[in-house]
Structure 1
Amino acid sequence: MTRIKDALDAVAAAIIAQKDYLCSLDAKTGDGDHGLNMARGFSAVQDAVDEMADTTKPGPVLETIGQTLIENVGGAAGPLYGTGFLKAAKACDDDTAMNIKSFEKLLGAAIKGIQTRGRAEKGDKTMLDVLIPIHQCFLPENAEGKSLFAVLEEASRAAKAGVDYTKTIAAKKGRASLVGERSIGYEDPGAVSSMLMYRALYAFLKK
């Protein structure tokens, strides 16, 4: 089964293709290297997963992704994304499958890890302003009676709304917090890279 590996390749390709765009966003409020860091990280992730003997189980693949991002992505993004993937990996079990319940569980674990590592919340102008709205779409009270693909589509719209929201608020975390109110009007690069990753996964699953 290569589907997990194929999904990863789709996400990596999306990040690498948008490297310059992510750098241009980061240059407005940070040090302009988010795209380079993320592209380097996902290129290393592809190499690491290629070396795995078995990519049929999500837990080990997610663990490899997380560890590789921590080791290869500079700035805050590496530890934050890496922690998210590692926590998602730990949440995997024999019941993990391509369904709403598993998406909710893994996203919830990832977000909790990112919140703890980054000491951030929704509204701080970070990747959480995209990841939390995505996760909320999969909660039982919002997903009840809906198909997986209906929820995936809603979450895609929520991701874009989250990115748009970051334009309206001042950064409270990371290097962007140093420019404070002057960060208003610009999307958060981490929020954008989160949206790109999610939408690449959604586009892959729709095929």
Structure 2
Amino acid sequence: MKLTAEALQQALLNTADQIEQQKDELTDLDREIGDGDHGINMSRGFQALKKELQGKDPFEDLGELSKLVGMTLIKTVGGASGPLFGTVFVKFASKWNGKEAVEGDQLYDGFREAVEGVAARGKSQTGQKTMLDVWEPFTEALMGAEPLETVIENALADTKELKATKGRASYFGDATKGVQDPGALSSSILLRQIAEVLNG
């Protein structure tokens, strides 16, 4: 599996379109176990990102692209998600600076750095019903043979059944069981697009 700067750019544009299509679903989920603004916030951030990326020459540096994405999302998403999604790309940038493409260990190391960055920023760990519950298994699967799409599906199914013990959702206690975490769902939208370009 190989990730080029151009492929990541395309995956992000596709993500912006998918988030727009699922904006209402993300917001409805967040109304159930959050403060009801996740879809709106993610839409705003990714539409701003789309403006930044659309019509630009293909990026040749994964670090440069990732840094732009991270800064844009931190500035425009708002809520708790802006810093968390932004952190993913800021961490990618730190590992992939000056590289046009990454595969194998370099690809994995970027994702591992991102996962650890999100855990530190959110003071969270896997099993607490957050976006980490999708990012962690996806990252580990980069070094395995299981299809990434299957890993994402399974991670979402597992996350849905968890009881939230972190963030705003934790106030809802047992009522969060059986409701999908909005951050996990929006993460899966992004990771599906990345998986698609990784599989060429």
TM-score with structure 1 length normalisation?
Answer: 0.86
Matched, 1:130 2:134: yes
Distance between the aligned counterparts of 1:51 and 1:70, measured in 2?
22
Is residue 60 of structure 1 aligned with residue 53 of structure 2? no
Aligned with residue 178 of structure 1, among 151, 171, 178:
171
What secondary structure is seen at the aligned counterpart in 2 of 1:179? helix
CA distance in 2 between counterparts of 1:59 and 1:70 reads: 16
2:17 is the counterpart of 1:24: no
Query: CA RMSD for the aligned pairs?
Result: 2.1
User: Segments of 4+ in structure 1 off by > 4 A?
Assistant: 50-54, 93-96, 204-207
| TM-score for both structures, normalised by structure 2 | 0.89
Task: Show CA shifts across 1:89-140 (max 9, x none).
Answer: 101145662423332111101101001000100001000000000011123x
Q: Secondary structure at the match of 1:167?
A: helix
CA distance, structure 2, for counterparts of residue 88 and residue 2 of structure 1: 15
| Cα separation, 2, equivalents of 1:110 and 1:162 | 17
Output one character per residue of 1:181-204: Cα deviation in whole Å (capped at 9) or x when no partner.
111110111111111111122234
Matched, 1:187 2:184: no
Q: How many residues align?
A: 196
Which has the higher mean CA deviation after the structures are superposed, 174-183 or 124-133?
Answer: 174-183
Q: 2:43 is matched with which residue?
A: 39
Partner residue, 1:104: 108
Q: Which residue identity is paired with 2:188?
A: M
Instruction: Work out whether 1:203 is the aligned partner of 2:158.
Output: no
Distance 1:185 1:54, change over 3 A: closer
Which is worse superposed, 48-57 or 73-82? 48-57
Matched, 1:118 2:122: yes
State percent identity of aligned pairs.
Answer: 36
Q: 1:156 aligns with which of 128, 133, 149?
A: 149
| Gap runs ≥5 in structure 1 | 144-150
Listed as ranges, the gaps of 5+ residues in structure 2 are none
Does the Cα contact within 8 Å between 1:14 and 1:196 map onto a contact in 2? yes
